Amino acid sequence: MRDYKKEVQKRVEFIRKILKDSGASGIVFGNSGGKDCALVGILCKMACDNTVGLIMPGSSEKNYKSDMEDAMALGSQYNIENRVCDIGEALAACKSSLNGCTELTDTAASNISPRLRMLSLYAFAQSEGRLVAGTGNRSEIYIGYFTKWGDGASDFNPIADLTATEVYDFLKYLNAPLSIRQKPPSAGLYEGQTDEDDIGVSYKDLDKYIIKGEIENKEAQERIDRMHKNTEHKRRAIPALSTEKEK
């Protein structure tokens, strides 16, 4: 059986060391009201009292309603300060400007929100001497289900080694709000969007395949392998010519 107390403490110590070595005075994380950010927020608050959750609605009506309610509930239960940065107008302006010079695809348009959130988090962090905490889990990272230079950007990530299923188990151990634990995972990119619909594979099957290399559905396996291969560029360093002189 997993020793959650020990695991939590290990992550708290990891965060404290990162913060100490950086010289930063606090942490900010994107608080979307989802599972991943909930666990990150709890861990960061345990490691650093000066932790702020930045709520950034603007992609869907759900952002302003149930998502915000869940984000506020997390802050209330764990005494995490929340602040709201509405990116709705910026999102609309960005899409309007781009549509004036190209024909935006649906995928390109949906990736603008995560990048605006990243911009907001880093502007916030730099203004207040904070670090940006990442909220991507192992399952999403493995198949590249994150936006490059969007939610994939952070100064550190305390849950990058945890699958989506393991994140849920940690939240259950930490008694996170039930509304957060029970809601379907979603990036809130547009109305009715869910992660599993986008991925085309359940997190249960994905996590089993990542950890044990087992999956019953051959089509799902091929899809996972294809996504992992096609998104390798998201997980590696930027290709560049070497600056070392030839010997």
| CATH class as words, domain 4-138+150-184 | alpha beta
- What's the pLDDT score for residue 231? 97
Whether the predicted pLDDT of 2 surpasses 90 = no
Write the CA distances from 89 to 64, 111, 114, integer angstroms. 14, 16, 14
Whether the predicted pLDDT of 244 surpasses 70 = no
Instruction: Please tell me the distance from the alpha carbon of residue 40 to that of residue 11, in angstroms, as a whole number.
Output: 10
- What's the pLDDT score for residue 188? 66
- Sort residue 58 into left (φ over 0), alpha (ψ -120 to 50) or beta: left
Count of residues making up the chain:
247
Is the distance from CB of 57 to CB of 92 less than 8 angstroms? no
Which residues have CB under 8 Å from 116's CB, separation 6+?
A: 56, 58, 87, 90, 91, 94
pTM over 0.85: yes
Strands (E), 3-93: 26-30, 51-55, 81-84
Whether the predicted pLDDT of 246 surpasses 60 = no
Write the CA distances from 88 to 57, 59, 124, 233, integer angstroms. 7, 7, 17, 29
Whether the predicted pLDDT of 245 surpasses 70 = no
121 exposure class (CB count in 10 Å sphere: 0-12, 13-18, 19+):
buried
Give residue-wise pLDDT tens across range 44-93. 999 999 999 999 999 888 888 889 999 999 999 999 999 999 999 999 99
- What's the pLDDT score for residue 89? 96
Give residue-wise pLDDT tens across range 30-56. 999 999 999 999 999 999 999 999 999
Q: What are phi and psi of 29, to 5 degrees?
A: -135, 155
Q: What percent of the chain stands above pLDDT 90?
A: 80
